[in-house]
């Protein structure tokens, strides 16, 4: 065992239960707009990252890319804030359909796109983040707030539970799409097929289905699926360093897939997400290779909770 490993092991053996803290992030990417029906077909995904929780009173520090989040209200005791860039996104979302299709765009179609791109999408994202928040409270954790920004939403939450609690918190966000999808399906039955409201309900239904499937079944860290995968490996008693390597490799493959999807379908946000996930995957690999998992945002707690340390068998 190297000196580094011994130091790491000593740190693990302190037996300190560090509060698990993380930020869950909901993001999305766009598929092509259907040119004929002007239906925004979204391929959505949720990603989750860990970070140090920040005080809800310090909204500036909650922002992932700077800027001063704008407080818009409190839901269930949770502060909801918007990033200033999101307002820019709203303006672009509203203006772009006119600019790209000025000759054929009608007010009805424009209104449909605006509703889909702004309140529907971010309302869905907000409910997803609230799912993480409620689950966090359920496991005895704390919720510091939610920030909506151009790439989705961030829930600032923290808990001191184990991998099982992590799994519950991570899975709670995607599961919010089940009741949402059922609700939209039920509403769609109330409207005549092909009407504005029917199209809206169907769009919302598919948005929720795609969000849920993507986040549950794509094991890409730091997306929700990657966190679910990592927690599952811990519950299966996979050694921490091996689990981290597996997560890094699987996440990298998924990240490349997401990036490739973005490249092939001209989806800039998907490319960005793929790049970001690849970067995080590589970062996880480096932490594993350098035996610094105790410093990693996702695996630090797992490493600390391992009585003999993750490198005891090396």
Q: For the CB of residue 160, give the shortest distance to Zn ion in the complex, in Å.
A: 20
Spatial contact of 250 and 228, defined as CB atoms under 8 Å apart:
no
Q: Give the number of other CB atoms < 10 A from CB of residue 127.
A: 18
Q: For the CB of residue 111, give the shortest distance to Zn ion in the complex, in Å.
A: 29
Nearest position to Zn ion, beta carbon: 173
Tally the residues of the chain.
Answer: 314
Question: How far is residue 76's CA from residue 135's CA, in Å, rounded to a whole number?
Answer: 13
| Selected binder of Zn ion within 8, 9, 22, 24 (CB under 5 A) | 24
Could you tell me which of 79, 75, 30, 44 has the C-alpha nearest to residue 58?
79
Question: How far is residue 16's CA from residue 11's CA, in Å, rounded to a whole number?
Answer: 9
Q: For the CB of residue 128, give the shortest distance to Zn ion in the complex, in Å.
A: 5
| Selected binder of Zn ion within 224, 241, 267, 291 (CB under 5 A) | 224
Q: Give the range of 13-21, 45-53, 289-297, 303-311 binding Zn ion by CB under 5 A.
A: 45-53
Could you tell me which of 44, 175, 200, 188 has the C-alpha nearest to residue 116?
200
- In which residue are the tokens 């169907």 written? 202
Q: For the CB of residue 304, give the shortest distance to Zn ion in the complex, in Å.
A: 24
Q: For the CB of residue 291, give the shortest distance to Zn ion in the complex, in Å.
A: 30
Instruction: Please tell me the count of residues contacting Zn ion according to CB under 5 A.
Output: 4
272 CB burial (10 A radius; 0-12, 13-18, 19+): middle
Q: Which is nearer to Zn ion, 59 or 227 (CB)?
A: 227
The answer to whether 173 contacts Zn ion (rule: CB under 5 A) is yes
Q: Which is nearer to Zn ion, 39 or 228 (CB)?
A: 228
Spatial contact of 262 and 268, defined as CB atoms under 8 Å apart:
yes
Phi, psi of 102 (to 5 degrees): -60, -30
- In which residue are the tokens 């007010």 written? 107
Q: Give the range of 41-49, 104-112, 239-247, 289-297 binding Zn ion by CB under 5 A.
A: 41-49
Q: Which is nearer to Zn ion, 166 or 241 (CB)?
A: 166
Query: Binders of Zn ion among 181-220, rule CB under 5 A?
Result: none
Q: For the CB of residue 249, give the shortest distance to Zn ion in the complex, in Å.
A: 22
| Contact pattern from residue 122 through residue 161 relative to Zn ion, giving x for each residue in contact according to CB under 5 A and a dash for the rest | ----------------------------------------
Q: Give the range of 102-110, 165-173, 195-203, 248-256 binding Zn ion by CB under 5 A.
A: 165-173
With H, G, I as helix, E, B as strand and everything else as coil, classify residue 80.
strand
The answer to whether 291 contacts Zn ion (rule: CB under 5 A) is no
Sequential DSSP letters for 108-163: HHHHHHHHIIIIIHHHHHHHHHHHHHHHHHHTT-EEEEEEEETTEEEEEEEE---H
The answer to whether 46 contacts Zn ion (rule: CB under 5 A) is yes
Q: For the CB of residue 36, give the shortest distance to Zn ion in the complex, in Å.
A: 33
CA-based end-to-end distance of the chain: 7
Task: Give contact residues for Zn ion (rule: CB under 5 A).
Answer: 24, 46, 173, 224
């Amino acid at each position: 065992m190297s000196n580094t490993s011994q130091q790491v092991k000593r740190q693990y053996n302190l037996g300190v239960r560090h509060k698990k803290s993380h930020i869950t992030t909901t993001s999305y990417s766009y598929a092509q707009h259907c040119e004929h029906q002007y239906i925004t077909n979204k391929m959505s995904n949720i990603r989750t990252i860990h970070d140090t929780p920040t005080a809800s009173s310090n909204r500036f520090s909650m922002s992932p890319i700077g800027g001063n989040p704008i407080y818009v209200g409190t839901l269930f005791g949770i502060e909801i804030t918007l990033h200033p860039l999101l307002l820019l996104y709203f303006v672009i979302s509203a203006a772009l359909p006119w600019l790209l299709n000025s000759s054929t765009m009608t007010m009805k179609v424009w209104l449909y796109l605006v509703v889909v791109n702004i309140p529907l999408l971010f309302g869905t994202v907000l409910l997803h983040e609230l799912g993480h928040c409620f689950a966090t409270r359920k496991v005895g954790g704390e919720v510091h707030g939610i920030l909506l920004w151009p790439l989705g939403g961030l829930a600032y939450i923290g808990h001191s539970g184990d991998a099982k609690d992590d799994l519950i918190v991570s899975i709670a966000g995607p599961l919010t799409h089940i009741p949402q999808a059922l609700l939209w399906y039920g509403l769609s039955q109330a409207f005549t097929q092909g009407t504005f409201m029917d199209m809206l309900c169907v769009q919302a239904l598919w948005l929720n289905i795609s969000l849920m499937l993507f986040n549950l079944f794509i094991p890409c860290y730091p997306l929700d699926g990657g966190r679910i995968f990592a927690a599952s490996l811990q519950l299966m008693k996979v050694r921490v360093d091996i689990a981290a390597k597996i997560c890094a490799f699987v996440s990298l493959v998924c990240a490349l897939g997401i990036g490739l999807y973005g490249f092939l379908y001209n989806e800039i946000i998907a490319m960005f997400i793929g790049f970001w996930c690849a970067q995080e995957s590589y970062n996880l690999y480096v932490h594993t290779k350098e035996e610094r998992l105790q410093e990693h945002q996702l695996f630090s707690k797992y490493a600390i909770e391992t009585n003999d340390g993750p490198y005891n068998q090396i």
